[in-house]
Amino acid sequence: MSQVVLDRAQAGELDAADPLAGYRERFLLDEPGLIYLNGNSLGALPLATLRRMDRMLRQEWGTALARSWDHWVDLPARAGDLVGELTGAAPGQVLVTDNTTVNLYKLACAALDARPGRRVIVTDADNFPSDRYVVEGIAAQRGLELRMLPTDIDEGVDPELVRAAVDEDTALVSLSHVAYRSGALADMAGITAIVHQAGALMLWDLCHSVGAVPVDLDGCDVDLAVGCTYKYVNAGPGAPAFLYVSARLREVLRQPIWGWFSQADQFEMGPRYHPAAGITKFMTGTPSILGTAAVEEGARLLLEAGLGPLRAKSVLLTSYLVELADAWLVPLGCAIATPRDASRRGGHVSFRHPRAERIVEELAAGGVITDYRTPERFRFGLSPLTTRFTDVWDATQAARDLIEREG
Ligand SMILES: *Cc1c(COP(=O)(O)O)cnc(C)c1O
């Protein structure tokens, strides 16, 4: 470890050379001195969203009232196409709607119905709670078998374990692309191919990838995907999630919630349900229009910055953090609980320490916002649009001082 890297001036030089540095000013972030490393939990507020919400509330809702539905009605699919640009999906395959959990349920049921006779759902034992609970519930309701992959919680899903777990009885495999706890990045192309060889369908959760890691859904031949928008997409608390259904399957699959927004002729108000054509058939009821507009603004900002530059900065940020942590935190008994190879991780880095929960509380008291995850882990989430290298330096130094002081 060179002394230069440990010098705060180096962090300042990295900020000065950062082509995305200007994007931070496009967010509210108005608390002086605050270091926010929790954008992977709730992203910051874009100023464009603030202006858009004001306009929508005053003019579109306040003045125009129900007349606004004329242009609101297409918003979920329009915002979906923007999220599609972020995730390598051609237009017409992504919809912004509901939350991630509900979308997981809809797509998992649709996939199982498309593989009648197959009795096994595979997920990983360290997948995000909703992802596990939803398939646990579906397996219980339908009398299916749920196979849990034994995953190393720091290293993520091993494709060979997926290969060993799937067979001719497997209907669906559901995994997270970036692990919420460790940030480990799964091999989307490789695992999807393994699942297809067994004749099963693949469902990816992109909550911790979209906006931080390039995703190529069409290129990887993915069947189904879901993801939220309030993390790196900065769409705000409770903003609707998205779902992706490959054009190969879109006309074949049926989702389990038959609502009027997915009816072929919504205002016919007819006696029977007939699913709409296209991605619209995965809608349920009235969408959150304000939330969907916020997704549009967040996605536009990311697309303007460019997915290549975003990933390049994200890799630099996490690598810089790992370097500082090796010098300052590891000698104090803090282990790095994220893959060291930058190509195998997403936008956050986790640390293991017996007092992780207290470290997060004390950092927060000093204006450094991070978060805690069981067991004994704290995460530094580095959002490429808003996080500065000096933030990484200051936060790591604060963690070092705190651990040094309290052991
Ligand atoms: C954040 C997150 C979710 C959130 O699901 P919601 O239903 O939108 O609350 C789901 N899965 C993963 C992997 C997540 O990180």
Residue nearest to atom 6 of ligand 1 (CA): 100
Instruction: Determine contact, residues 108/142, Cβ cutoff 8 Å.
Output: no
Instruction: Determine contact, residues 394/321, Cβ cutoff 8 Å.
Output: no
For residues 284 and 331, membership in a common domain is answered with no
Residues composing the chain:
407
Ligand 1: distance of its center to the CA of 203 in Å?
14
Domain endpoint, select from 303, 337, 354: 303
Q: Is the CB of 128 under 6 A from ligand 1?
A: yes
Q: Would you call 30 a catalytic residue per the annotation?
A: no
For residues 237 and 368, membership in a common domain is answered with no
Q: Is the CB of 228 under 6 A from ligand 1?
A: yes
From 100, 132, 288, mutation site for ligand 1 pocket: most ligand atoms within 8 A of C-beta: 100
pLDDT of residue 4: 62
Q: Which atom of ligand 1 is nearest to the CA of 103?
A: 7
Task: Let me know the angle formed at the C-alpha of 64 by 60 and 66, rounded to the nearest 5 degrees.
Answer: 95
Evaluate whether residue 62 is within a structural domain: no
For residues 259 and 319, membership in a common domain is answered with no
CA distance 121 to 139: 8
Q: Which atom of ligand 1 is nearest to the CA of 180?
A: 15
Which domain range does residue 127 map to?
73-303
Counting the structural domains of the chain, the total is 2
From 130, 178, 182, 242, mutation site for ligand 1 pocket: most ligand atoms within 8 A of C-beta: 130
- Determine the residue type at 399: A
User: Does residue 159 have a cis peptide bond before it, meaning omega lies within 30 degrees of 0?
Assistant: no
Evaluate whether residue 355 is within a structural domain: yes
List the chain residues with pLDDT less than 70. Answer: 1-4, 407
Evaluate whether residue 240 is within a structural domain: yes
Instruction: Determine contact, residues 223/172, Cβ cutoff 8 Å.
Output: no
Q: Would you call 379 a catalytic residue per the annotation?
A: yes
Evaluate whether residue 293 is within a structural domain: yes
| Per-residue tokens: 406 | 């309290």
Domain endpoint, select from 286, 303, 320: 303
For residues 100 and 178, membership in a common domain is answered with yes
Which residues neighbour 391 within 8 Å (Cβ) at sequence distance 6 or greater?
35, 36, 37
Q: Is the CB of 124 under 6 A from ligand 1?
A: no
Evaluate whether residue 290 is within a structural domain: yes
Options 205, 371, 391, 394, the catalytic residue: 205
CA distance 99 to 243: 9
For residues 256 and 141, membership in a common domain is answered with yes
For residues 23 and 109, membership in a common domain is answered with no
Domain endpoint, select from 303, 331, 359: 303
The CATH number assigned to the domain holding 131 equals 3.40.640.10
Sign (positive or negative) of CA dihedral 328, 333, 334, 338: positive
The CATH number assigned to the domain holding 321 equals 3.90.1150.10
Q: Which atom of ligand 1 is nearest to the CA of 228?
A: 8
Q: Phi then psi for 255, rounded to 5 degrees?
A: -90, 160
From 96, 105, 128, mutation site for ligand 1 pocket: most ligand atoms within 8 A of C-beta: 128
pLDDT of residue 406: 86
Q: Is the CB of 205 under 6 A from ligand 1?
A: yes
Phi-psi region of 315 (alpha: psi -120 to 50; beta: other; left: phi over 0): alpha
The count of other CB atoms within 10 Å of the CB of residue 72 is 20
**CA distance to 149, 198, 221, 283, per residue, from 280 (Å):** 33, 29, 21, 6
For residues 289 and 213, membership in a common domain is answered with yes
Phi-psi region of 375 (alpha: psi -120 to 50; beta: other; left: phi over 0): beta
Q: Would you call 131 a catalytic residue per the annotation?
A: no
For residues 289 and 150, membership in a common domain is answered with yes
CA distance 298 to 39: 13
